[in-house]
Chain A
Amino acid sequence: MSDNRQTTTTPPARHQIIAPGHTFATVSDKISSIVLTRRTPLYWFIPFLIASGLVMVFLVAVAALLVRGVGLWGIKVPVMWGWAITNFVWWIGIGHAGTLISAILLLLRQSWRNSINRFAEAMTLFAVACAGMFPLLHLGRPWLFYWLFPYPNTMGVQPQFRSPLVWDVFAVSTYATVSALFWYVGLIPDLATLRDRARFRAARILYGILAMGWRGAASHWQKYETASLLLAGLATPLVLSVHTVVSFDFTVAIVPGWHSTIFPPYFVAGAIYSGFAMVLVLAIPLRAMYGLEDLITSRHLDNMAKVMLATGQIVAYSYVFEAFIAWYSGNQYEMFAIWNRMTGPYAPTYWALIFCNLLFPQILWLKKIRTSTVWLFVVALDVLTGMWLERYVIVVVSLHRDFLPSSWGIFYPTIWDVATYVGTIGLFFFLFFLFIRSLPMISIFEVRTLLPQAEVAEADK
């Protein structure tokens, strides 16, 4: 720990995190001006319009689904989970990076996180929102979703608390709630900055309401810091538990390829892997578009690439061990499940997954790749693709051939599967672009603490 403190508080390391020359005023003005004073640039409008178009696609897909029923998707016996659950697990995995960055890296005193935690948390919220769409729509009658919660009802039935699917409802809704709370609490001091800097009365009133009268009093800051640490301490086990519980949806079932104790850590590592990939996919264009290279420096990109590399190795280890244990178990169904993945009708997806998640990201070992924004962007997209394929392989390929050949089948996605999936990508970017337009995408007050002048000089003591 003492080593850590050394690297995060000595001036040279600080300069690597934030470019030299910044003051409290320049940091505050630079970040708040994106929301308050700068003209909304064309490179904001164009992606926003594309994302809005995709939201329309999503609305049409959902409307069609509600009218015609879930048969519109390609799901049928034996692959009843299809793309819906694949997409759910993919999105919820992406949603892990934000809370990991804001909670775990806060507890580990990794102060470089201060300039990426805000938009990573926002990304988490939007990814969880997209994730939530799929199990809800997959219910068939989403307006009855509240049946999943225990409440006194005239039907006289209650949820089955021994089922991982019910655990999942509680895990994901708790995660969404706690992430939103964490995000909002982190926003309050910055909302006060926006309130005090806004030029238009309407903006002042709006940010003023959201800031709730925050005035930066020392007695408030002291409680605020305690609250941040406590929330981080609570969110840390939570973020690790969410994907663990998601993996229980699979492991508690006896389907070959699912029933495995390696799933919880393997899912959590995969979630962080894809989450950091999404943070990179967002951070690299954002810093170029808004000229934030002095706040989100190449050191940030390098660190994120290292986290990706580390979690990627855990994922790679899991793939190897999944295959090894299937062989070592001597269980013919397990052996067949793995063999079917490698050589069955879905073999191309498996080998694409191995390439995307295991082989290609190994180039991150090279410092040259980790400091090149173009290459990092490519690797991040590759990992996002790979992690989607991983969930596809787990969900579809495991289900399509289980114990009895008489119940085997092949899954074909329909155009509505694609429309719903692409639609949620549109929804994600739609929400994200609204966020960067209306709220500070970098935590202003936390970046202030990274500046050398934030330190109280010793001589005065």
Chain B
Amino acid sequence: MRTPIYGLMAEFDSPTALAAAARQVRAKGYRKVEAYSPFAIEEVNEALGLHSNKLPLIVLCGGILGGLTGYLMQYYVAVIDFPLNIGGRPLHSWPSFIIITFELTILFAALSTVLGLFGLCGLPMPYHPVFNVSRFAFASRDRFFICIEANDPLFDRHDTAEFLQTLAPREVSEVAH
């Protein structure tokens, strides 16, 4: 028996070819599919059915947490921990707390955007099988790849390779684990 592989990868020349291939791969019924390109291509996301992501929700939570942290920190310091009586002015002087509340809202939201992005993308990822394809180095330059993964229920090492050949790629290669 041959060693198991990660999937089959086809290489294309242009974003148009990649988008067309992605549509056909989806139409054929494959679901464990990933496209690789040197820049974001909206049509490919549509073809692969990538619609929603959780990032905005993470950022919203981060922002709210930051705002609460900022305000409560200032309230705690100015009213409870270190009250300063200056001419009898109110300790809970909320207008002067707004700026730091705002800054910490932005800070926490920005940090959760970046950490959320890394978390959702699984970065940093020291090893990934797609890099075993030597031509994959061009995915960050001028080539466009589509990979059907071996754990897709419809995947067949021979038939899937033949199907990918019908999409007029430059090359179809096996991705070793």
A residues adjacent to B (C-beta < 8 A): 23-25, 28-29, 150, 156-162, 166-167, 170-171, 174, 177-178, 181-182, 184-185, 189, 192-193, 195-197, 209, 212-227, 230-231, 234-235, 237-238, 241, 245, 248, 445-446, 448-449, 453-457, 460
Are A223 and B117 touching (Cβ within 8 A)?
yes
Which parts of B115-168 form the interface with A (CB within 8 Å)? 116-118, 120-121, 123-128, 130-131, 136-142
Q: Per a CB cutoff under 8 Å, which of A29, A150, A160, A217 touches B73?
A: A150
Are A226 and B34 touching (Cβ within 8 A)?
no
> Measured between C-beta atoms, what is the minimum distance from A126 to chain B in Å?
20
**B interface, size bucket:** 35 or more
Are A222 and B103 touching (Cβ within 8 A)?
no
A166–B97 CA distance with the chains assembled, in angstroms: 11
Which parts of B48-101 form the interface with A (CB within 8 Å)? 48, 50, 53, 55-56, 59, 63, 73-74, 77-78, 81-82, 84, 93, 96-97, 99-100
Are B40 and A181 touching (Cβ within 8 A)?
no
A25 cross-chain contacts in B, Cβ below 8 A: 141-142
B5 cross-chain contacts in A, Cβ below 8 A: none
Residue B8 lies at the interface, judged by CB distance under 8 Å to chain A: no
Are B124 and A212 touching (Cβ within 8 A)?
yes
A197–B139 CA distance with the chains assembled, in angstroms: 11
Q: Per a CB cutoff under 8 Å, which of B22, B121, B142 touches A24?
A: B142
Are A221 and B123 touching (Cβ within 8 A)?
no
Chain A residue at smallest Cβ distance from B117: A227
Looking at A25, A171, A227, A238, the one whose CB has the most chain B CB atoms below 10 A away is: A227
A235 cross-chain contacts in B, Cβ below 8 A: 106, 110
A457 cross-chain contacts in B, Cβ below 8 A: 16
B45 cross-chain contacts in A, Cβ below 8 A: 218, 221-222
A150–B43 CA distance with the chains assembled, in angstroms: 49
Residue B41 lies at the interface, judged by CB distance under 8 Å to chain A: yes
Chain A residue at smallest Cβ distance from B107: A174
Are A212 and B123 touching (Cβ within 8 A)?
yes
If A161-B78, A161-B97, A181-B114 touch, whether A218 touches B56 (CB-CB below 8 Å) is no
Chosen A-B contacts, 17 in total, with CB atoms closer than 8 Å, are A25-B141, A181-B110, A185-B114, A213-B123, A215-B128, A216-B36, A219-B121, A221-B41, A223-B55, A224-B40, A225-B40, A226-B53, A227-B113, A241-B99, A448-B38, A453-B14, A453-B15
Are A158 and B82 touching (Cβ within 8 A)?
yes
If A218-B50, A234-B106 touch, whether A24 touches B141 (CB-CB below 8 Å) is yes
Are B77 and A454 touching (Cβ within 8 A)?
no
B14 cross-chain contacts in A, Cβ below 8 A: 453
A177–B73 CA distance with the chains assembled, in angstroms: 20
Are A189 and B140 touching (Cβ within 8 A)?
yes
Are A221 and B140 touching (Cβ within 8 A)?
no
If A185-B114, A223-B117, A456-B19 touch, whether A196 touches B141 (CB-CB below 8 Å) is yes
Are B99 and A245 touching (Cβ within 8 A)?
yes
Are A214 and B53 touching (Cβ within 8 A)?
no
B55 cross-chain contacts in A, Cβ below 8 A: 223, 226-227, 230
Residue B104 lies at the interface, judged by CB distance under 8 Å to chain A: yes
B118 cross-chain contacts in A, Cβ below 8 A: 212
B128 cross-chain contacts in A, Cβ below 8 A: 213, 215
If A214-B123, A230-B113, A456-B16 touch, whether A222 touches B40 (CB-CB below 8 Å) is yes
A221–B48 CA distance with the chains assembled, in angstroms: 12
Are A216 and B106 touching (Cβ within 8 A)?
no
> Measured between C-beta atoms, what is the minimum distance from A92 to chain B in Å?
14
Residue B44 lies at the interface, judged by CB distance under 8 Å to chain A: yes
A56–B10 CA distance with the chains assembled, in angstroms: 54
Chain B residue at smallest Cβ distance from A218: B35
Are B109 and A234 touching (Cβ within 8 A)?
yes
If A25-B141, A167-B99 touch, whether A178 touches B110 (CB-CB below 8 Å) is yes
Q: What 6 pairs between A and B have smallest CB-CB spacing?
A: A213-B125, A212-B124, A24-B142, A158-B82, A221-B40, A218-B35
A162–B124 CA distance with the chains assembled, in angstroms: 41
If A23-B142, A161-B100 touch, whether A219 touches B34 (CB-CB below 8 Å) is yes
Residue B102 lies at the interface, judged by CB distance under 8 Å to chain A: yes
A222 cross-chain contacts in B, Cβ below 8 A: 40, 45, 50, 53
If A213-B128, A460-B19 touch, whether A223 touches B37 (CB-CB below 8 Å) is no
A195 cross-chain contacts in B, Cβ below 8 A: 140
Chain A residue at smallest Cβ distance from B15: A456
A182–B39 CA distance with the chains assembled, in angstroms: 17
> Measured between C-beta atoms, what is the minimum distance from B56 to chain A in Å?
7
A227 cross-chain contacts in B, Cβ below 8 A: 55, 113-114, 116-117
Chain B residue at smallest Cβ distance from A237: B106
A230 cross-chain contacts in B, Cβ below 8 A: 55-56, 59, 109, 113
Residue B20 lies at the interface, judged by CB distance under 8 Å to chain A: yes
Residue B111 lies at the interface, judged by CB distance under 8 Å to chain A: yes
Q: A217-B121, A226-B53, A230-B55 are in contact. List 13 more A-B contacts (CB 8 A).
A: A28-B38, A156-B82, A161-B100, A174-B106, A213-B127, A216-B38, A217-B35, A220-B123, A221-B39, A222-B50, A231-B113, A234-B106, A456-B43
> Measured between C-beta atoms, what is the minimum distance from B161 to chain A in Å?
21
> Measured between C-beta atoms, what is the minimum distance from A139 to chain B in Å?
19
Are A218 and B106 touching (Cβ within 8 A)?
no
A197–B142 CA distance with the chains assembled, in angstroms: 12
Are B81 and A218 touching (Cβ within 8 A)?
no
If A150-B77, A161-B74, A192-B140 touch, whether A456 touches B41 (CB-CB below 8 Å) is yes
